[in-house]
Structure 1
């Protein structure tokens, strides 16, 4: 249909034009939600640094006591 000359930069520009034509009304909403997500992410990173949890994962369980009780029976 296109003669096989569609590729590289031409395809990228065509894809960009199609996205702008059909998704233009949703672009401001997408940008707003992306900005809010970045704000929340930065706030969480800042809180993690303040709390002093920079070396550990918050989701891991605490380590068990290192004493072995099996040999003292």
Structure 2
């Protein structure tokens, strides 16, 4: 566990508040609101930092525009 944690960086989220609000309003207007606020924060943080979000939960992030998603865990 120590080796895993040692390779991680903490990304602050206070810089994404405006983008979070913009995306939240956009999704609501499009009729595709996210029901999990934490997922929205995660997605917008990745988007604002130009990260690729690696997740097995593509469904909950699919409506965030321009978000790059990679599923390395895709089940066949």
TM-score range, shorter chain: under 0.3
Who wins on radius of gyration, i.e. which is larger? 1
Higher helix share: 1
TM-score (norm 2): 0.25
Structure possessing the higher relative contact order (Cα contacts under 8 Å, 6 or more residues apart): 2
Q: When the two structures are superposed, what TM-score results if normalisation uses the length of structure 1?
A: 0.25
